[in-house]
Structure 1
Amino acid sequence: MQKYGAYLFFFVCIWSAQSQIPTQVGDTLTVIEQDSLKRSKFFKQIGNGFFPTKYIDIDLRYLFKFNQYEGVRTGLGGRTNNNLSERYRMDGYVVYGFKDHNFKYSIGGGFRLSKDSETWVNLSYTDDLQETGSSNFLTDKRFFSFFEPRLLNINLFHHHITKAISLEHRITPYLLSETQISRSNVTTTYNYEFFVDDTAFKEFRMTMAKVSLQWNPFNTFETVGDLEVEKEGFPNFTLQLSQSFKDVLDGDFNFFKADFRTIYKLNYDDAGHSFTEATLTSGIATGKTPLTHLYHAYPNNINKETILQRFSVAGINSFETMYFNEFFSDRFATFQLKHYLKPFNIGKRFQPQMVLISRFAIGNMHDIERHQEVDFETLNKGYSEAGFEINKILFGFGLSFAYRYGAYHLPEFADNVAAKFTFNITL
């Protein structure tokens, strides 16, 4: 991470050195304003996950990752930008896992139907892995996080080869949508059988239609030079509906899913240093749904004996005391509450911040006997944990502590405790 930060700093310094040298006061103000706008645009692209070059924006998500199945996962991704074409685009990536010794890749492209409504038709072909029990919103690909610490500990993946066509459309300035139709071949990387109608499935064929909506009714827009900057407002809402079709393009199962998320943030000062953030997430799957497409509850605890052996990196919205693959559900809800205290002003470069955290999850599952060779529990009793973080102690690193209590409290005290690093960085 520090290596790439050094590269980024190097490029910024070179770009800044190439600015015009003004000769008059008026020119000075003009150049300063232009430089400010350029920097704003540059860091906006970086914040969206792309390092801009003349014709291709490099996708920063694929440079380096790590998980328990692939080990180090590294590669290169990118997309064409408006300098090459404003109406057409191509994107893709290729990565390699050093532990599973396999390449993964995706290639796609799109064409724009409307500039005002940001309407695009996209086609893609993907050969990659996905975490079992994860539920991703289509509209989330518009948002980016530099560091996704929970990925370090994931070990349960399924392999999929997916062909998809999608339509992106901004219905209103506050409502984004994406509709997708896909055909996938799915194979688990672990021992698993899904029993349906006296048949044991180890591989699945999925024909899926999805509609995803991202509604941000309290966002605000500000024009800075030739840029329109969108500032996030709260609450915001995300809804996604999915339908799998049997016997359509050889699909194996009929099932329906509905996923929902809302985030609310309440600021206590103008600088936004002290605030409370609440996140509610829920989902339901009906019909004959394999484990690959059901739900976990964002666990982030490694299945090892001692606290020190489980010491890793805390996630952003994950249950730090919940062990990986401990629970699965076909209907669930989680509620997470974080209160950020005002940073401690110990020194100019040393201002750690404490965050108080409470999390709750509940769920259940029909026809649990369909899922064979994988042992797990349900969340029907309600899962609770509480803890705190002390962030930005040194170079963005901090510490996290969480305790598991309530119905799923474990007999051994140490098994209920999670102590981890945190990592927070802002541009």
Structure 2
Amino acid sequence: MDFKNFYKSLFLLILFFSASSLFAQTTVITGTVTDASNKQTLPYVAVSFTGTTIGVPTDNNGKYRLSTTNATLKQIKISFLGYKDAFLSVEPGKEQVINVKLFPSAKQLNEVVIKSGKKPKYRNKDNPAVELIRQVIENKPKNRPEAYDYVEYREYDKMMFGFINVSAAFSDRKFFKKYKFIIDNRDSSILPGKSILPVYLDEKLSQNYYRKNPEKKREVILGQRGVNFGPAVDNEGVKQYFKHLYNNVDIYDNDIFLITSQFLSPISNNSPNYYKFFITDTITDAKNQKLVELSFTPRNSNDVLFEGMIYITLDGNYAVQKAVLKINKHININFIRSMEVDLDFEQNPDNRYHLSRSNTIAEFGATKKEGKSGLLGMRTITYKNYVVNHPRPDTAYTKQSEESTDEAKSRPASFWEHNRLDTLTTAESKVYKNVDSLRNMPSYKRTVDIATLLLAGYKGFGKFEIGPANTFYSFNPVEGLRLRIGGRTTPELSKRYYFETYAAYGFKDEKWKYFLSATYSLNNKSIYKFPQNYIRVSYQKDTKIPGANLQFVQEDNFLLSFKRGTNDKYLYNDFYRLDYVHELESHLSFSGGFKNWRQSPAGSLYFNNTINGQPNSINALTTTELTGSIRWSPHEEFYQGKIYRVPIPNKYPTLELDYAAGVKNLFNGQYNYQKLDFRIDKRLYLSQLGYSDISLAAGKIFGTVPFPLLTIHQANQTYAYDIDSYNLMNFMEFVSDHYESFRIDHHFGGFFFNKVPLLKKLKWREVFSAKVLYGGLTDRNNPALHPSLYQFPVDDKGVPLTYTLDRTPYVEGSVGIENIFKFIRIDYVRRFNYLDHPDVPRDGIRVRVKFDF
């Protein structure tokens, strides 16, 4: 359920506008361009409206689609090197098909040798286009900015999102008249042929410094400005996610990350294995420098690859002087109708080239059908004032303590007018004021309130909100029907003090459960915002399944009430806690705390041991712990939801070390022990082979403890596929006092299915996972050797239900298909050993819901 809140909000808005939009009259022309002499299709032919810059190239099959809302354009021009230009009339405001035959401009030989009716097979061998691209690849290192010892430049970054083709008649409808000031703010100059209604804008101006040896990078933010949709929306998280979709594009990288997908660069080291290259023209730029126009297209149209053109210098450096990167309509990416990246380069004094402007524009929609309403996003980055090989003092490359981002965020409008490296359109310049006015409208607040209840599960009442709604009703074998009501305060009450509570009642066990916490923010910022710095005291009395720790959700979520097998071993827990959390801007975080924990068996679970040869029943186990944790997640970004943070994946690892010490006789604590747990998570990008989410973990307990305090390995008896749990392991099936684990969840992204004709149309994607768990129990914690320790549970026939791992690791794996109906993943999961344990499944089908591109 990754990016759950954000995706649902995004598509709610898209569908909202889809239902009622009226579209402007558009001229749409489609067709195929062929060679008149041999009837073969011609790729990369330029098709444009005569006298304008509105045009498109034909694709690899000679097909094109051209559109405009300008009713005065009545003629198109078709031109291609080596062929005569063609001029054809079109009918404005209509959809029409115009197929074109181009005639060669040079005389043809009278003798023609016909070998076959098939097109000549494309080959890399003896292909001058491929030889040229290999020269570009060979010279990549010296054409990157990092080739210089010192580089500095100013950067202006603008991100805009808007709705497409919202008709003027839309604002005249009775319900939407109050929003007329927003709906009428349309712009047809941003993208030729489309009317854009901007609703989101973010700007950043920065000065950047780079030093090669020792390598240092520093960004000084001079100004930052963005729209604010109100406290119900994590505005900073929205910005981070949008920039995650529109990453900086460096064509010299082997892989380019865009729209949560990894594209292979056309000048990647192995690009000739995935792309077809064609030399389509030779031109001369404004400085009389000769450039080769090199066109390229994917060998497989479903693969995550670009098509387009790059312009290469012939000065011996083989540098990229300009690039146009597009995607085709068959690509295996959801909700993207079109995307184009335009890269422009300028010449340095030493005649090398640096990136001067990057413009990424993409059109989103619930379907890929053209002409429907949707969303358009554009990120434009402008680079100016390049200085190379000019050393600065060491302080220029190191972040200074006096730098203040708060000052950069409060720049007046006059600052932006004088310092922008680009211009805003008239419609863009009105976005800030329009969103501010919208945010203060009662109807907008009501709409956000309803959306927050439906999507996040909370109903706001100003200083207090009730939720989450999906926990109001649930059931389990111990409590039977369980009803719960709860809520928490909001920053409207205070940015320093926060309170949260809930009460629940089980109709079968006839017991009340409740929770109460009070939090004090030490940095006078919301405790839900980064960086967190707070102290919290809390008390909780509730049930818990031993070993269950489901990601992002509460155990009393209604959907998790449905479980396989026997799951009636519960705990009644009483927690008294004191927690301190401190996050640093570097994404290094610390936490510490105190916990007094009383756990009593519930359901069919029991605590028994033997004292002086006699069986003994234990009502409760009390533990007092001192805890500490350190976590480092460099460059971490996330969207802050109402209940939890949703991390935005990147290539950097996350490391966490947790420590706990049990203290005997402190607040009735019964055991002395120490516990260490370490975990590292990393997403590994493998270019066209997709990506892997890898996790390594290890832990050890020092001391003698009863089995409820051992590591109870994380099982999952629901029918949902849980990434972090063992999906065919029963609750409480395995315990250890030392363990090591490995998990890999690999997503191929359609690498194999894209090559199968019947499957490529479905756009399904392959996925597999493997989970390996080593562990064991030392003699000091083995109840078979020490009867005074709690005995492992057995069923009513005396068959053991809880085990330790021997020298053989627990192994389970799965193969699956994701992107079914664009959001469903189905896995066939197989358990490979320990199959002699009672009531364990050998295999099973599990489902996961995931919204992704």
TM category (shorter chain) comes to: 0.7 to 0.9
Partner residue in 1 for 2:803: 377
Q: Secondary structure at the match of 2:720?
A: coil
Partner residue in 2 for 1:305: none
1:150·1:318 contact (CA, 8 Å) conserved in 2? Answer: no
**Within-5 A mapping of 1:204-223:** 204-220=621-637
Q: Which of residues 814, 817, 823 in structure 2 aligns to 1:387?
A: 814
1:218·1:232 contact (CA, 8 Å) conserved in 2? Answer: no
Q: 1:361 to 1:63 in 2, by over 3 A?
A: same
Does residue 193 (structure 1) correspond to residue 570 (structure 2)? The answer is no
1:332·1:363 contact (CA, 8 Å) conserved in 2? Answer: yes
**Within-5 A mapping of 1:232-271:** 232-233=649-650, 234-268=652-686
**Within-5 A mapping of 1:28-39:** 33=201, 37=229
Q: Which of residues 181, 184, 193 in structure 2 aligns to 1:22?
A: 181
1:125·1:163 contact (CA, 8 Å) conserved in 2? Answer: yes
Identity %: 20
Q: Which of residues 174, 189, 201 in structure 1 aligns to 2:587?
A: 174
Deviation for aligned residue 1:296:
2.6
Find the aligned partners of 2:523 and 2:609 in 1 and give their Cα distance: 43
Q: 1:275 to 1:175 in 2, by over 3 A?
A: same
Give the alignment's TM-score, normalised by structure 2: 0.41
**Within-5 A mapping of 1:10-409:** 20-22=179-181, 25=185, 33=201, 37=229, 41=234, 51=458, 53=460, 54-60=462-468, 62-65=471-474, 67-71=476-480, 73-115=482-524, 118-133=532-547, 152-153=562-563, 154-189=567-602, 190-194=605-609, 201-220=618-637, 231-233=648-650, 234-268=652-686, 274-300=690-716, 312-343=719-750, 351-366=763-778, 367-369=781-783, 370-372=789-791, 374=793, 375=800, 376-380=802-806, 381-393=808-820, 396-406=823-833, 408-409=834-835
Q: Secondary structure at the match of 1:207?
A: strand
Find the aligned partners of 1:88 and 1:213 in 2 and give their Cα distance: 25
Q: Secondary structure at the match of 1:85?
A: coil
1:57-90 per-residue CA deviation (whole Å, 9 max, x = no partner) reads 4443634555444455442333212111111110
Give the alignment's TM-score, normalised by structure 1: 0.76
Find the aligned partners of 2:558 and 2:636 in 1 and give their Cα distance: 25
Q: 1:241 to 1:280 in 2, by over 3 A?
A: same
Find the aligned partners of 2:558 and 2:587 in 1 and give their Cα distance: 27
2:548·2:716 contact (CA, 8 Å) conserved in 1? Answer: no
Deviation for aligned residue 1:91:
0.8
Partner residue in 2 for 1:307: none
Find the aligned partners of 2:581 and 2:532 in 1 and give their Cα distance: 7
Q: Which one-letter code corresponds to 2:485 in the other structure?
A: L
1:381-402 per-residue CA deviation (whole Å, 9 max, x = no partner) reads 2111222122353584443222
Q: 1:390 to 1:97 in 2, by over 3 A?
A: farther
244-253 or 49-58, larger mean C-alpha shift: 49-58
Deviation for aligned residue 1:127:
0.5
2:678·2:699 contact (CA, 8 Å) conserved in 1? Answer: yes
1:297-325 per-residue CA deviation (whole Å, 9 max, x = no partner) reads 223359xxxxxxxxx33322222333333
Deviation for aligned residue 1:364:
0.9
Deviation for aligned residue 1:49:
5.8
Q: Secondary structure at the match of 1:300?
A: coil
2:829·2:846 contact (CA, 8 Å) conserved in 1? Answer: no
Find the aligned partners of 2:668 and 2:490 in 1 and give their Cα distance: 37
Does residue 426 (structure 1) correspond to residue 851 (structure 2)? The answer is yes
Q: 1:284 to 1:65 in 2, by over 3 A?
A: farther
Find the aligned partners of 2:761 and 2:500 in 1 and give their Cα distance: 40
Q: Which one-letter code corresponds to 1:258 in the other structure?
A: L
Deviation for aligned residue 1:216:
0.6
Name structure 2 gaps, 5 residues minimum: 18-174, 188-195, 202-225, 239-451, 526-530, 640-645, 784-788, 794-799
Find the aligned partners of 1:75 and 1:411 in 2 and give their Cα distance: 36
397-406 or 26-35, larger mean C-alpha shift: 26-35
Deviation for aligned residue 1:169:
1.1
Relative contact order: is structure 1 or structure 2 higher (C-alpha 8 Å, sep ≥ 6)? Answer: 1
97-106 or 20-29, larger mean C-alpha shift: 20-29
Find the aligned partners of 2:548 and 2:699 in 1 and give their Cα distance: 11
1:205-228 per-residue CA deviation (whole Å, 9 max, x = no partner) reads 221111123321242589xxxxxx
1:80-139 per-residue CA deviation (whole Å, 9 max, x = no partner) reads 121111111101222334554433210111112224753211111111122324579xxx
Find the aligned partners of 1:72 and 1:212 in 2 and give their Cα distance: 37
Find the aligned partners of 1:135 and 1:288 in 2 and give their Cα distance: 24
Find the aligned partners of 1:151 and 1:283 in 2 and give their Cα distance: 30
Q: Secondary structure at the match of 1:372?
A: coil
Q: 1:409 to 1:180 in 2, by over 3 A?
A: same
Q: 1:237 to 1:266 in 2, by over 3 A?
A: same
Q: 1:133 to 1:415 in 2, by over 3 A?
A: closer
Q: 1:300 to 1:231 in 2, by over 3 A?
A: closer
Find the aligned partners of 1:352 and 1:175 in 2 and give their Cα distance: 38
Q: 1:79 to 1:353 in 2, by over 3 A?
A: farther
1:194·1:202 contact (CA, 8 Å) conserved in 2? Answer: no
Q: Secondary structure at the match of 1:178?
A: strand
1:47·1:144 contact (CA, 8 Å) conserved in 2? Answer: no
Q: Which one-letter code corresponds to 1:391 in the other structure?
A: E
Q: 1:269 to 1:239 in 2, by over 3 A?
A: same
Q: Secondary structure at the match of 1:21?
A: helix
Deviation for aligned residue 1:236:
0.6
Deviation for aligned residue 1:269:
5.6
Q: 1:218 to 1:351 in 2, by over 3 A?
A: same
1:312-345 per-residue CA deviation (whole Å, 9 max, x = no partner) reads 3332222233333322112122211111121567
Find the aligned partners of 2:199 and 2:590 in 1 and give their Cα distance: 39
1:297·1:334 contact (CA, 8 Å) conserved in 2? Answer: no
Q: 1:362 to 1:94 in 2, by over 3 A?
A: same
Q: Which one-letter code corresponds to 1:364 in the other structure?
A: G
Q: 1:122 to 1:40 in 2, by over 3 A?
A: closer
Deviation for aligned residue 1:35:
7.9
